[in-house]
A and B are shown apart, each in its own frame.
Chain A
């Protein structure tokens, strides 16, 4: 028994050390810094003050933007991804399925930076707006708006949503659908009563993944929002790379982590209950 304990410890040691040095330590430092003060030329000087937390209201707009656009982006991703995943899992021949699936991931292999840049061009005055103008549909300003950021978000994260839903739908026992239709149930009813509930774990996983990534998003609003659509991630980068206020930046980071912990825990709680206590409704 002793030997086995030793082996277990040895196997856990590297991962444990890694977590301690690169996760626990940095988070503790951020926590400690969040009670400090900004140095004269920026940076951090030790102190013990709650001012940084009291000042969080100054970033309320960024928090609000994030808390609106992250769930909204997740929802739009879901609405676009679900029919596609359904099509791929239930309406394509197995031969084409692999190819079509790979085609969903391929855009993922180009850097999100370059893909977002393509959207700067497409949404800029010489892109889609000029096309719309030529068609006599007006000349709307798209770039540097929340709309542009949402397009970028959907574009960037769609594959992450398609996959889990596809996996859930593909696993679905087709006999259930047959049984449902044999019992005289119309297709929409089969969908609502059989397909949709059984695909919920995939939906939950996809939403979780996309939502978590969106809460910390920086690049897409930075590139497609023109500095006007600010996520909390942008506020954080700004605090560290422009105004060099490490103490306040740490407080914002702590607040972001807390908001995420709460929302994710609440989300898991509700989806678990909703999905009837199934355990597979989670990231893990």
Chain B
């Protein structure tokens, strides 16, 4: 009774997962111990093609090129995909959706799979840069099991262009060891005020207009998505004032947070969880004023050179057992009920992954107009070159 699978501790789960990944235990042992076995055996019959049967080994080519985000994919899952299908995965990491869009607009990106965020998809459709998905090639995608709130943005005018990967929030991480008696900041106002005072030279912001400008707007209580010139002008003034106090403008803040060079940074859920997991003194905070709620998707760009491999990889990563392993690695919540059914309860109860309802309800989804607004783009560029 003490060994009930339901009560498998998170540490034990992670340890088992790690042993499984290292290959020191068999898959059967891992699934048995963690209780994933039952779930998988049920799903295995319910979901055809779970083990890549749809794409026999070798038929999809030997490579697949992915454009995604930092600290977002478990290399072990890519290795497993390669072992199963023979296609090696080349991961390219980006710091903003703008950067991805710019690369696709210039043509010939060479990507097979990319991971756009909810508010970008209509723009990709308008610009004819994204391929409508052939869902018959994604047997692991079960639309019914996804929370519509995080899945809808993938469908434009009735056509599915993107399938959900996971969702998350944009808050900030703070290394509480450096607070020196100060109370832990809980609002964006405190985030920016501390940046310009006690944490001068120690704060990072994203190299990404949407989040950096959005959270500067939050300082004044304006909408994260505001494109109002007067509100943006206030945000710009704040950003320019804060700039001399920043440690860096970079969307990959984990290395600097880990090394102790940076003490605070705008951050996404998963990075917050990964940092907190390894360094408990680092906390993830959602500003009380609100901020961003987002959902990322898998999509295939027009003219992808390895289309079959792209479908195979997306399908592979959507398999609940694989997706669960991804979640264990990256710490972002997923909208797929099948995955949540097999996640350890510790993860489902994690306050970083699933914030309290009142914090969550204050958040906004990014809007397409926020992405393409020329004034926001230019504001960010001015801020960086100031």
Which residues does A use to contact B, with CB under 8 Å?
Answer: 38, 40-43, 58-59, 61-62, 124-126, 141, 143-144, 226-228, 230, 234-235, 238-245, 248
Q: How far is the CB of B204 from chain A (nearest CB, A)?
A: 8
B344 sits at the interface (CB 8 A) = no
B384 x A238 contact (CB < 8 A): yes
Chain B residues whose C-beta falls within 8 Å of the C-beta of A242 in the assembled complex: 96, 98-99, 102, 207, 209, 377, 380-381
Q: How far is the CB of B311 from chain A (nearest CB, A)?
A: 27
B372 x A40 contact (CB < 8 A): yes
Contact of B248 among A43, A59, A126, A228 (CB under 8 A): A228
Chain B residues whose C-beta falls within 8 Å of the C-beta of A248 in the assembled complex: 378
Chain A residues whose C-beta falls within 8 Å of the C-beta of B382 in the assembled complex: 58
B199 sits at the interface (CB 8 A) = no
B381 x A41 contact (CB < 8 A): no
B260 sits at the interface (CB 8 A) = yes
B247 x A144 contact (CB < 8 A): yes
CA distance A141 to B259 in the complex (A): 13
Nearest-neighbor residue (CB-CB) of A63 within chain B: B385
CA distance A243 to B209 in the complex (A): 9
CA distance A235 to B246 in the complex (A): 18
B385 x A235 contact (CB < 8 A): yes
- The size class of the interface chain B forms with chain A is 20 to 34
Q: How far is the CB of B278 from chain A (nearest CB, A)?
A: 16
Residues of B93-145 at the interface with A, using a CB-CB cut-off of 8 Å, are: 96, 98-99, 101-103, 105-106, 123, 126-127
B381 x A227 contact (CB < 8 A): no
Instruction: Tell me if A's interface is mostly helix, strand, loop or mixed.
Output: loop
B377 x A41 contact (CB < 8 A): no
A42 x B102 contact (CB < 8 A): yes
B82 sits at the interface (CB 8 A) = no
CA distance A243 to B101 in the complex (A): 10
B127 x A41 contact (CB < 8 A): yes
B99 x A241 contact (CB < 8 A): yes
B259 x A227 contact (CB < 8 A): no
B261 sits at the interface (CB 8 A) = yes
B287 sits at the interface (CB 8 A) = no
Q: A226-B247, A239-B381 are in contact. Are A244 and B386 (CB under 8 A)?
A: no
Chain A residues whose C-beta falls within 8 Å of the C-beta of B247 in the assembled complex: 141, 144, 226
Q: How far is the CB of B250 from chain A (nearest CB, A)?
A: 6
Q: A59-B385, A227-B248, A228-B243 are in contact. Are A43 and B105 (CB under 8 A)?
A: yes
CA distance A240 to B101 in the complex (A): 11
Q: How far is the CB of A150 from chain B (nearest CB, A)?
A: 17
Residues of B163-215 at the interface with A, using a CB-CB cut-off of 8 Å, are: 201, 207, 209
Nearest-neighbor residue (CB-CB) of A62 within chain B: B385
B201 x A141 contact (CB < 8 A): yes
A243 x B377 contact (CB < 8 A): yes
17 contacts between A and B (CB under 8 A): A41-B126, A41-B127, A43-B105, A58-B378, A58-B382, A124-B256, A125-B259, A226-B248, A227-B249, A228-B249, A235-B384, A238-B384, A239-B381, A243-B374, A243-B381, A245-B377, A245-B378
Using an 8 Å CB-CB cutoff, how does the interface string of B364-384 with A read, 1 for contact, 0 for none? 000000001010011011101
CA distance A122 to B167 in the complex (A): 36
Q: How far is the CB of B260 from chain A (nearest CB, A)?
A: 5
Q: How far is the CB of B179 from chain A (nearest CB, A)?
A: 18
CA distance A236 to B147 in the complex (A): 41
Q: How far is the CB of B87 from chain A (nearest CB, A)?
A: 27
CA distance A61 to B103 in the complex (A): 26
Contact of B381 among A43, A125, A228, A235 (CB under 8 A): A235
Chain A residues whose C-beta falls within 8 Å of the C-beta of B126 in the assembled complex: 41
CA distance A144 to B243 in the complex (A): 12
A61 x B385 contact (CB < 8 A): yes
Q: A43-B105, A125-B261, A245-B377 are in contact. Are A238 and B372 (CB under 8 A)?
A: no
A41 x B99 contact (CB < 8 A): no
Nearest-neighbor residue (CB-CB) of A38 within chain B: B374
B101 x A42 contact (CB < 8 A): yes
A238 x B385 contact (CB < 8 A): yes
- Among A40, A42, A62, the one with the most B-chain Cβ atoms within 10 Å of its Cβ is A42
Q: How far is the CB of B322 from chain A (nearest CB, A)?
A: 32
A126 x B259 contact (CB < 8 A): yes
Q: How far is the CB of B193 from chain A (nearest CB, A)?
A: 20
Chain B residues whose C-beta falls within 8 Å of the C-beta of A38 in the assembled complex: 374
Q: How far is the CB of B352 from chain A (nearest CB, A)?
A: 25
Contact of A243 among B98, B201, B243 (CB under 8 A): B98
Chain B residues whose C-beta falls within 8 Å of the C-beta of A59 in the assembled complex: 385
Q: A40-B372, A230-B384 are in contact. Are A240 and B207 (CB under 8 A)?
A: no
CA distance A29 to B347 in the complex (A): 54
- In the complex, given contacts A243-B378, A244-B101, what are 18 additional A-B residue pairs having Cβ atoms less than 8 angstroms apart? A40-B372, A41-B127, A42-B102, A42-B105, A42-B372, A43-B105, A58-B385, A62-B385, A125-B260, A126-B259, A226-B249, A227-B250, A228-B246, A238-B381, A238-B384, A242-B96, A242-B99, A244-B98
Chain A residues whose C-beta falls within 8 Å of the C-beta of B385 in the assembled complex: 58-59, 61-62, 230, 234-235, 238
CA distance A248 to B381 in the complex (A): 11
Q: Which 3 residue pairs of A and B lie closest in terms of their CB atoms, listed nearest first?
A: A226-B248, A227-B249, A243-B377
CA distance A238 to B126 in the complex (A): 23
CA distance A62 to B209 in the complex (A): 18
Q: How far is the CB of A44 from chain B (nearest CB, A)?
A: 10
CA distance A234 to B207 in the complex (A): 13
Chain B residues whose C-beta falls within 8 Å of the C-beta of A144 in the assembled complex: 247-248
B381 x A244 contact (CB < 8 A): no
Chain A residues whose C-beta falls within 8 Å of the C-beta of B207 in the assembled complex: 227, 242
